[in-house]
Structure 1
C-alpha cells in the first residue's frame, strides 16, 4: 500500500549568492565563446590563401580584357555614324574626303596611277617555308597584324632573315582615287620584296620587268595618257633605281632606251622620300636602336639585352636585309656636315611657323627658326661617344684611329651562335677601338660600318654607293650600284616630266646620337644610345641621347627636300633636261581626339598617307593638273636656307669645282652664320 510522505520544503537561497553564481556561469560562457572564436579566427587565417603578385597581375589582366571586350562590343553594336557624330560635336563638322570634294568639282580619272610602297606600306607573304611555319602558306608575315610574331617569334625571325652571304632567300589614298573613276585597269600596285637589294628584285622575281610591262600596258590602254608614279618612303629610292634600269641596255637594264621615261611618265610624286638617306638607319645597323627603343632599353635593359635577347635577334635579322643599306646617309660631310658645321646648325624646335608659298622669297630669305642661345648642336657628329664629346670643340677631341685596330675573338663568340652578330667576331680590342675614336661623321660612318659589319657592307658595296659624282659622264656610273643615289646619277631625259617631293614637317626627327659602351654581358650588343644624355632646356634638340631636327619623324627635311629644292631645280648636271621640280610640305597637326584615329592633317612619315591636303594634291596631278596649277612650292621649313649652305660647303650642281671657304661670323640673327663666296653658276 502506497504511503504518502511529507517532504521538507526547500528553503529559498540568498538572492545575492544566486546572482553571483549566475554571473560566474555567464563569464564562463563568454570565455568559452571567446576561446572558440579565437580558435576559429586562427584556423580561418591559416586556411585563407595569400593574395600574391601573380593574383594581382591576373586580376589586372582580367579587368583589361573585360574592359576591352566591352568596348569592342559597344563599338560593333553602335551605329556607324555615332563616332562621327561625337567627333563633330567636339571639333565641328568634318570636311568632305578629298575624293568626294574633287568629284563635286568635276574631276575625273585621266592618267594611270602606279603606287610604289615603302617598308611599312608593303606586305610580304610566305610561299615556301620551314617546318615551323606549317599552316602559314600565303599568309602575311609582314604588313598584316603581325600575329605570327607573338605566336612563334623565332620562326618569324628565321623566315624574315635573308642569307648573310648572298642577300637572297635561304590603302586610304586608293579609296579616294576610286571616287573619281579610278579602277583596276588604271591603278597598279608595284609591290616588291623590300628586303632585297633593288637589283636583286629583278634577279629573283623580275619585279622591275613587271613594273615596266605594267606601265607600258596601262599607258597604251588609257589612250596614251602617261602614268603618274606615287612612290612612298623606300619606294622613292626603288623607283629612282627603276628609272635608270629601264633606260639601260640589257642584260643589266631593261632596254627601254633613253626616251622611255619621257614617253611613259607624266609625273613622279615622291611621298616622304629619303633621297639622301636617314641617320636613323645608322643607329639601326649599329646597335639595332632608335629613339623609342633606346628609352625602353634604358628602362628594362635585362629584358631586351639578356632576358629574351631581343636586340640581338633584331640585329641578326635586319643586317641580312640589303635594302636597309640603301638608307645610309649619302653625300658624306658635304651634305650632312662635319665636326664643326652642319646645314641645320642653329635650328631649335619650332614653336610656330607662318605659311610661306613664295618660292623666290623662301629661297633667298628662308623662314628663320628660333636660334638657341644656350648650346650649339653639332648635327654633323652623327655618333658621339659621350655628351661631352658631342658638345666639345673639335680641337679638344683626342681620337685614336680605329681602322687599323686588331680584332680578336671574344669569349662570347662560342656560346652566342643562336644570336650571332658580327660584333662577336670583333673581340674586346675592336670594341674598345671603336669607342676611342669618339666621334663619327657621315663619311667616317661608312668606315665604321665596314669595321663592325664587314660581311654586311661587302654585300652592300656591291649594290649601293654613298658618294658624290665628280663626273657623271664617267662610264663607271652606268653600274647599277649608283642608280639609287641621286648624287651619282642623272635624271632621265624627260623635260616634260615633273618631279614632286611631298613630305611632312614639324615632327622632331632623329639626326645624331650620343652613345656609350654597354655593360659587359655575354652575347650583348656592345654599344647603345645613352638615354641619360639630356638637356634641361625644353627648347633643346637633345632628348634621351638623340639630337632632333625638323622632319616627318623618320626622314629629316634635308634628305626629303634638298634634291627638289636645289640640286634638281632647273637645268643642272644632275637634271640635264630641266625636268620641273616642286616641294610640297605639310605641317604636322595631331588628331584633336582619339576618335579621329591618325588624323587628317598628320605630317608623320606613315600617317601622312591619310593627310587630306596631300591626297587632294596627288589626285589633282593624277587628273591632269601641273605643279604650277597646284600653286608651286608650299614650304614651312628652312629647306631653301639649308640647301644654300650645302652648296657653299662644296656641292657643285653646275660641274664647276668648288672650293670650300667657310668664315664663321656671329650676327644678331644667326650666331653661327656662314659667310662664303658662292659659285657663280650654283649660287
Structure 2
C-alpha cells in the first residue's frame, strides 16, 4: 500500500507545481519548492505560502507619460543651463566681442557726449553743482525704534529697498515725518546721504545722475570740482535749513568751489523739485541773517554763471493734486482697476493705499508741486492756454479744437478737451459748458456725520472726519480748476493744508515790493518773488516733449467703507476716439510724463524773458526742448534720446548742452532757444502783468 500512495502523492505534487509555474509565468529555476510538511494553521499561513511563490514585477518606466510638473522642471533646468552657459561665455570672451555683437545689431554706437567733446578739445572749466529732485536722493538711518535694530547708517530710501520688504510697517514708520512738527518723529533720525553717491542711482541699475557724472568725468571733472547738494527732500525747504543747515552747506560749498577754481563761477544743475529748492536758496542766500544766509544782494552774481534747470516744475504739476487727493496717478489708477480692492485690503497688516497716503501727506516738500498761478496760468472752466476756448464750441456751434502735437507727431486729439478743469466728477461735467453746470458750494457743508466705526481709523487721513454728506457735496461741485483746487484740499484735509500753507504759496504777486513777500513761504514760487540782481547770469529750462503727460482727471466717489479713501480716478472713462486725450480717466497733454510744458517752459518763455517785474536785472533765459525718441532695442536700456522726466538725465543732447556750458559756452554759443512745442504761442495766451 505504501508504494501506490507514494506514487499518487508524487504525481499530485508534480501536477500542482506545474500548474503554479504556468500561472506565475516562471520557469522551475526561479520557483521555490514548497515544503510539503508545512502545516496549514489558518488564513495567515495560506497568505504566507502564497507570498513565497510571488516574484517582484519589474516596473516599465518607459511607458509613463510626463506630467506638467516634469515639463516645468525640465524647462526651468534648460533655461538655467543656457543662462549659465551664456554667462560663462560672456565672462570668458574678450571685452570687444559683446560690443561687436551690439554694433552688429544696432550699428555703430555713437560716442558719449563726454568722449565726443573731449575729442573736440573741451575740458573742465566751471565747477558744477548738482541739485537732486524729490525722491531721487538717498536717505539713511541714524537713530530708530527697536524694530529697526541693525540698520544704523544704512539706507532706508534708495539702493535695494531691502528693508521695505523685510519690515514694511517699521520702514513706513521711519520714513514718515511727524504730522504736527514736519520733522522726524521722536526717537527717529533719518538723514540725507552725502556725496555724489547720494543720487547717482535711485535703485540698483536705475541711474539718476550717474550718466551726467560719467560724462563730466570724460572732460576732466572729478569730485573736487563737482558737488551734490543733497538735502532731505521730505522736509519743507526752510526746514532743511532749520534741522540740517542744508542751505548753509550749499552756500559754503559753492563759495569753496569758486575760491578753489580761481574765481570761476559755478554752473548749477537742478532737477525736478530741486529747481524750486534752488529758487528758494537764491532768495534765502541774499536775505540778511538770521532769516537768510546773509550773502547780500550780489551773492548770486559773484558765484553763479548759469542755472540749467532740468525737467523744471516751476509752476507745479497736476500729478501732485491727484497724489494729495487720492494717492493716485495714471499708473496706480490702472493697477487699481486691474486688481479692484487689492491695494485697499489689509495684507499682512499693510493697507497699501492708506499707508501710502499717510506717508505721502507727511512729506511737506510735496506741497511745492501743487500748481501755482491759479486759472491765469492753468486755465479756467472754459479755456486753457494749450487749447484756447475749446468748450466755447458748445455755445457758439463751432469747432475750435486743436491737435496737441508737441512737435513730435500726434500726442492726442484735444477736441472737446478743456485742460482748465483739473478735476471733474464725470466725463459729462468735463465737457459741458460752464453755463450749464449747477454746482454746490461744498465749503459751507458741515462735516457732522462721521463714517461708521471711524474711531478705528488709526491712519491719519482726515477723510474719516468728513462724513457722507461732505463727500457728496465735494462730488456735487462737479468741476475744479486751479483756482478752486486749493479750496478743495483745504476742505478735505484742513490739518494737512494748514501745515503746508505755512511753507508754500501758490498765487501771483500784485506788488513784489510788498514786505510780505520777504517771508520764506513765497521764495519757491517764481510768480511771487524776484530773480536776483545778476545780469550776467543765465537761466535755462531744459525739458522733454512728445510724451503724454497728466493734465486733468475724471473722478468718482468710491463705494462707502470705513476708513477708506472716498475718491478714485474713474479708469472706466475714455474719449470718443482712438487718439483722444482722455484715457483711463486721465486727460493727457504734452510734456515729459510728469511736468506739462506750460509749467516747465512758461517762465523762461515769457515770465522771465527780458526785463520783467519777476526778472528786474534782465537775466538771459533760454528754452531748450528735447523730443522724445524711445530706445531702438533692449540693448539701449532707457535710451539716449529719451524725453522722460528722469530718463532725460541720460539724454545725449541734453548732456552735450550741459557740458558745453560747463566748459565755458553761453546760451548763444549752443544755439539759443530750441523749441518743438507751441510754448511761446501758449505763453502769449496767458494774460499776466509783467
Q: Same fold judged by TM-score > 0.5?
A: yes
Q: Which moved more, 1:296-305 or 1:208-217?
A: 296-305
- Displacement of 1:539 in angstroms is 1.6
Q: Which moved more, 1:285-294 or 1:173-182?
A: 173-182
Q: Which residue of 2 aligns with 1:380?
A: 420
Q: Which residue of 1 aligns with 2:50?
A: none
Q: 2:245 matched to 1:206?
A: yes
Q: Which moved more, 1:405-414 or 1:195-204?
A: 405-414
Going from structure 1 to structure 2, the CA distance change for 1:370 and 1:270 (only over 3 Å counts) comes to: closer
Q: Which moved more, 1:585-594 or 1:422-431?
A: 422-431
Q: Which moved more, 1:151-160 or 1:73-82?
A: 73-82
From 418, 430, 440, the equivalent of 1:400 is: 440
What secondary structure is seen at the aligned counterpart in 2 of 1:450? helix
C-alpha distance in 2 between matches for 1:321 and 1:196: 6
Q: Which residue of 1 aligns with 2:91?
A: 77
- Displacement of 1:347 in angstroms is 4.8
From 103, 121, 128, the equivalent of 1:113 is: 128
C-alpha distance in 2 between matches for 1:3 and 1:495: 140
Residues 233-269 of structure 1, C-alpha deviations (whole Å, 9 max, x = no match): 0000000000000000111110000000000000000
C-alpha distance in 2 between matches for 1:395 and 1:499: 42
Residues 489-535 of structure 1, C-alpha deviations (whole Å, 9 max, x = no match): 00000000000000110010000000001112222210000000112
Residues 49-68 of structure 1, C-alpha deviations (whole Å, 9 max, x = no match): xx99xx89x97997899599
From 122, 127, 133, the equivalent of 2:137 is: 122
Aligned pair count reads 595
- Partners of 1:349 and 1:508 within 8 A in 2: no
Q: Which residue of 2 aligns with 1:336?
A: 378
Q: State how 1:8-23 maps to structure 2 within 5 Å.
A: none
- Partners of 2:135 and 2:233 within 8 A in 1: no
Q: Which residue of 1 aligns with 2:533?
A: 493
C-alpha distance in 2 between matches for 1:410 and 1:305: 17
Q: 2:306 matched to 1:267?
A: yes
From 469, 477, 494, the equivalent of 2:517 is: 477
C-alpha distance in 2 between matches for 1:550 and 1:501: 16
C-alpha distance in 1 between matches for 2:686 and 2:182: 34
- Displacement of 1:420 in angstroms is 3.3
Q: Which residue of 2 aligns with 1:602?
A: 642
Q: Which residue of 2 aligns with 1:146?
A: 161
- Partners of 1:348 and 1:540 within 8 A in 2: no
C-alpha distance in 1 between matches for 2:174 and 2:505: 28
Q: 2:578 matched to 1:538?
A: yes
Q: State how 1:367-516 maps to structure 2 within 5 Å.
A: 372=413, 375-408=415-448, 409-417=450-458, 419-516=459-556
Q: State how 1:108-187 maps to structure 2 within 5 Å.
A: 108-170=123-185, 171-187=210-226
From 291, 296, 300, the equivalent of 1:257 is: 296
Q: State how 1:604-683 maps to structure 2 within 5 Å.
A: 604-647=644-687, 651-653=688-690
Q: Which moved more, 1:187-196 or 1:137-146?
A: 137-146
Larger radius of gyration: 2
What secondary structure is seen at the aligned counterpart in 2 of 1:447? helix
Q: Which residue of 1 aligns with 2:601?
A: 561
Going from structure 1 to structure 2, the CA distance change for 1:212 and 1:527 (only over 3 Å counts) comes to: same
Q: State how 1:238-257 maps to structure 2 within 5 Å.
A: 238-257=277-296
Going from structure 1 to structure 2, the CA distance change for 1:72 and 1:281 (only over 3 Å counts) comes to: farther
C-alpha distance in 2 between matches for 1:209 and 1:165: 25
Going from structure 1 to structure 2, the CA distance change for 1:352 and 1:580 (only over 3 Å counts) comes to: closer
Q: Which moved more, 1:85-94 or 1:454-463?
A: 85-94
From 316, 319, 343, the equivalent of 2:358 is: 316
Going from structure 1 to structure 2, the CA distance change for 1:400 and 1:184 (only over 3 Å counts) comes to: same
What secondary structure is seen at the aligned counterpart in 2 of 1:501? strand
- Partners of 1:510 and 1:548 within 8 A in 2: yes
Residues 360-380 of structure 1, C-alpha deviations (whole Å, 9 max, x = no match): xxxxxxxxx7994x8410111
Unaligned runs of 5+ in 2: 8-18, 24-63, 186-209, 388-400
- How high is the TM-score relative to the length of structure 1? 0.83
- Partners of 2:406 and 2:590 within 8 A in 1: no
From 524, 529, 536, the equivalent of 2:569 is: 529
From 591, 597, 601, the equivalent of 2:631 is: 591
Unaligned runs of 5+ in 1: 8-21, 27-47, 355-368, 654-683
Going from structure 1 to structure 2, the CA distance change for 1:185 and 1:68 (only over 3 Å counts) comes to: farther
Residues 306-344 of structure 1, C-alpha deviations (whole Å, 9 max, x = no match): 243211000000000000000000000000001100011
- RMSD over aligned Cα, in angstroms? 3.0
- How high is the TM-score relative to the length of structure 2? 0.82
Residues 623-658 of structure 1, C-alpha deviations (whole Å, 9 max, x = no match): 0000000000111111111101113xxx111xxxxx
C-alpha distance in 2 between matches for 1:245 and 1:122: 22
- Displacement of 1:119 in angstroms is 1.8
Going from structure 1 to structure 2, the CA distance change for 1:454 and 1:66 (only over 3 Å counts) comes to: farther
- Partners of 1:349 and 1:541 within 8 A in 2: no
What secondary structure is seen at the aligned counterpart in 1 of 2:305? strand
What secondary structure is seen at the aligned counterpart in 2 of 1:403? helix
What secondary structure is seen at the aligned counterpart in 1 of 2:468? helix
- Partners of 2:211 and 2:650 within 8 A in 1: yes
C-alpha distance in 1 between matches for 2:504 and 2:442: 24
